[in-house]
Amino acid sequence: AQKVTQAQTEISVVEKEDVTLDCVYETRDTTYYLFWYKQPPSGELVFLIRRNSFDEQNEISGRYSWNFQKSTSSFNFTITASQVVDSAVYFCALSKLGTYKYIFGTGTRLKVLA
């Protein structure tokens, strides 16, 4: 069975702090995709990153970075120097290649305080 666990329900940080959002997944598939989405108060889920299970390189995009570790089945997301605009609910998701099923975690609500 596939499962995505985001154990942190809510995190509050002060602006400019670094914050890491955890994502742990379970799958028996050898090939799969992992995703992160951001859902601001407006409601739309915004795609942030897709990672193929073959590619364990970490990725950095501006203040965002992702740490994919297959050995621990984790795909953590770090925001450096957080800003108030980063306040949102962040979802991690898993998908088997070539299927229509995207398994979402329950999300982590991030509050960045000015």
Is 64 one of the binding residues for other proteins (CB under 8 A)? no
Q: How far is the CB of 15 from other proteins (least distance, A)?
A: 27
Member of 44, 54, 62, 71 binding other proteins (CB under 8 A): 44
**Burial (Cβ within 10 Å: 0-12, 13-18, ≥19) of residue 93:** buried
Is 59 one of the binding residues for other proteins (CB under 8 A)? no
Is 31 one of the binding residues for other proteins (CB under 8 A)? yes
**CB of 2 within 8 A of CB of 99?**
no
Is 98 one of the binding residues for other proteins (CB under 8 A)? yes
Is 33 one of the binding residues for other proteins (CB under 8 A)? yes
Is 3 one of the binding residues for other proteins (CB under 8 A)? no
Q: Residues interacting with other proteins, by CB under 8 A?
A: 31, 33, 35, 37, 42-47, 50, 91, 93, 95, 97-102, 104-107
